């Protein structure tokens, strides 16, 4: 167990330097260094585990082209003065994060149940299939290149032939990816045996749909997370260091979702203002714009969770997220531009102007080099926010969620904008971005309209999520220290 320290800053006068002053650190208690190794940047936050105070932050370009441990080492060196041998907590979405495929029975029932379970699993769902897998279906699944397959189908004691057929098809396909089995419990052992005989790594868990209308996503979510950490992260070629996989505790979106839950808990003091607008106090929406994806997180208040138990939105997780793998400011900037065109958000001249910027960004790893670059990045960030919110609202509508019960992102009392471009924006730039989203008539406006909009300016949500389980008081203190509470 490492020695834990914590620090306080001060100044020291150097007698041999004519009164020159420098920063020094007083070591007196436990500290954690929380690091997110993202697709574009590796971000670190040093946290006082007694109070949640932020002792230092640092970031470095993620060195994905060589070895991500190089960027991690740079962040650790930058914060070396904060603590000696701190507790190191790491999450990662480098290499595109976790790509998950869902294979189920009926699209409207078991496949959709698996898809909804994946919304809160920190995974990017890259493929969903329903019914018996045939040659074309297997080809489409392989083309999607998932890191993990979630195999579901049938209620417990219900129809089992499709689940058995699909497990046999996956076993014979020669896929070198783990399979999480979360279908009909009565044939679970036979399904697992089919896969294991062909050398497939299998993790069995409880059925995501034990009975009609009853969704149980948490066991599958935990299993997917475990598979990612145990079998996937080390196989992405991110580092030659055999110890890297053991350092990563969570996929980044999973950590952020846990951090959003910490924030929601801290906001659960109903206000007259929230009630007057029909909002749900303690319901939070976070939009995180990254280099590869834009993620939308929604965590509901207890009242909204109760509303979810009614006939509307049966089976929709109260803590959920959508990930948009084609909405990013670097790795998927070209796809983001295409999505904006499809949504009819750009004029012809804007499209031409941004196309040049997108092409140039492929070869740029640092921040914008000019005011024009900065303006284009913020414009693209605004488009990512708008399109991601539109899609999230559409998904809620498809699942039967409306804003009338507080179960929707549209009834959130607090909306948080996150991501590097937004984090480094000036107050005026942030307000301009918000104004653009509020002008949208495609669904994004409805999420921000009556909510208080904040910014994760110190990037604390992922760190709070890493702390939430073992250090809940520090996690709560961290979101407060980051300016998201109070």
CA 226 to chain centre: 16
Using DSSP, state whether 201 is helix, strand or coil: coil
pLDDT of residue 389: 94
Given this model, what pLDDT does residue 212 score?
82
Q: Which two tokens stand for residue 211?
A: 């009975």
Distance between CA atoms of residues 245 and 90, nearest Å: 10
Query: Is the fold of 7-95 the same as that of 97-235?
Result: no
7-95 folds as: Nucleotidyltransferase; domain 5 (3.30.420)
Q: Which H or E run includes 407?
A: none
Per-residue pLDDT at 273: 44
Other beta carbons less than 10 A from residue 33's beta carbon? 24
CATH architecture group of domain 269-455: 2-Layer Sandwich (3.30)
Tell me which of 3.40.50.2000, 3.90.850.10, 3.40.50.2300, 3.40.640.10 is the CATH number of domain 97-235: 3.40.50.2300
Residues 6+ apart with CB under 8 A from 95: 39, 64, 236, 237, 238
Q: Do 52 and 475 meet the contact criterion of CB atoms below 8 Å apart?
A: yes
Residue with tokens 């929230």: 274
Tokens 């080099």, residue?
369
CA 149/CA 319 separation, integer angstroms: 22
- Alpha-carbon distance 78 to 76, whole Å? 5
Q: Rounded CA gap, 306 and 401, in Å?
A: 13
Domain ranges of the chain: 7-95, 97-235, 269-455
Question: CB of 329 within 8 A of CB of 380?
Answer: yes
Q: What is the pLDDT of residue 414?
A: 93
Ranges of the chain whose pLDDT falls below 50? 1-28, 271-278, 305-306, 308-314
d(CA 9, CA 406): 44
With a threshold of 0.85, does the pTM exceed it? no
Please report the pLDDT score of residue 374 as a whole number.
87
Task: Report how far residue 197's alpha carbon sits from residue 179's, in angstroms, rounded to the nearest whole number.
Answer: 13
Residue 115 near residue 167, CB atoms below 8 Å? no
């Amino acid at each position: 167990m490492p020695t834990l320290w914590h620090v306080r800053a001060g100044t020291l006068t150097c007698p041999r330097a004519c009164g020159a002053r420098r920063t020094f650190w007083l070591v007196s208690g436990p500290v954690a260094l929380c690091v997110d190794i993202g697709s574009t940047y590796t971000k670190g936050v040093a946290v006082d585990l007694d109070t949640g105070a932020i002792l230092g932050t640092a970031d470095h370009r993620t060195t994905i082209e060589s070895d991500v441990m190089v960027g991690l080492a740079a962040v650790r060196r930058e914060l070396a003065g904060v603590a000696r041998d701190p507790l190191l907590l790491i999450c990662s979405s480098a290499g595109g994060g976790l790509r998950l495929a869902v294979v189920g029975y009926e699209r409207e029932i078991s496949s959709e149940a698996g898809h909804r379970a994946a919304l809160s699993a920190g995974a990017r769902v890259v493929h969903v299939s329903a019914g018996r897998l045939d040659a074309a279906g297997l080809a489409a699944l392989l083309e999607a290149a998932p890191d993990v397959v979630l195999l579901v189908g049938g209620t417990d004691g219900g129809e089992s032939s499709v689940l058995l057929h699909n497990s046999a098809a996956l076993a014979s396909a020669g896929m070198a990816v783990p399979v999480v089995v979360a279908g009909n419990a009565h044939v679970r052992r036979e399904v697992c045996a089919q896969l294991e005989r062909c050398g497939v790594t299998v993790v069995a868990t409880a059925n995501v749909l034990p009975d009609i209308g009853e969704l149980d996503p948490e066991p599958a979510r935990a299993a997917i997370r475990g598979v990612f950490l145990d079998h996937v992260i080390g196989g992405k070629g991110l580092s030659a260091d055999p110890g890297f996989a053991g350092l990563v505790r969570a996929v980044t979106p999973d950590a952020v979702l846990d951090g959003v839950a910490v924030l929601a808990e801290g906001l659960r003091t109903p206000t007259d203002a929230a009630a007057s607008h029909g909002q749900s106090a303690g319901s939070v929406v976070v939009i995180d714009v990254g280099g590869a994806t834009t993620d939308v997180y929604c965590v509901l208040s207890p009242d909204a969770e109760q509303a979810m138990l009614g006939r509307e939105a049966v089976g929709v997780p109260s803590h959920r997220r959508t990930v948009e793998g084609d909405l990013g400011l670097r790795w998927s900037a070209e796809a983001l531009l295409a999505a904006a065109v499809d949504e009819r958000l750009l004029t012809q001249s804007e499209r031409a102007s941004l196309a040049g910027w997108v092409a140039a960004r492929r070869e740029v790893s640092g921040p914008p080099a000019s005011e024009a670059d900065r303006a284009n990045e913020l414009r693209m960030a605004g488009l990512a926010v708008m399109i991601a919110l539109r899609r999230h609202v559409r998904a809620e509508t498809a699942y039967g969620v409306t804003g009338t019960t507080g179960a929707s992102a549209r009834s959130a009392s607090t909306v948080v904008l996150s991501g590097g471009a937004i984090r480094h924006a000036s107050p005026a730039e942030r307000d301009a971005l918000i104004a653009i989203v509020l002008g949208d008539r495609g669904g994004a406006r409805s999420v921000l309209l009556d909510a208080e909009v904040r910014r994760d300016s110190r990037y604390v949500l992922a760190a709070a999520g890493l702390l939430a389980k073992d250090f809940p008081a520090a996690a709560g203190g961290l979101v407060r220290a980051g300016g998201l509470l109070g």
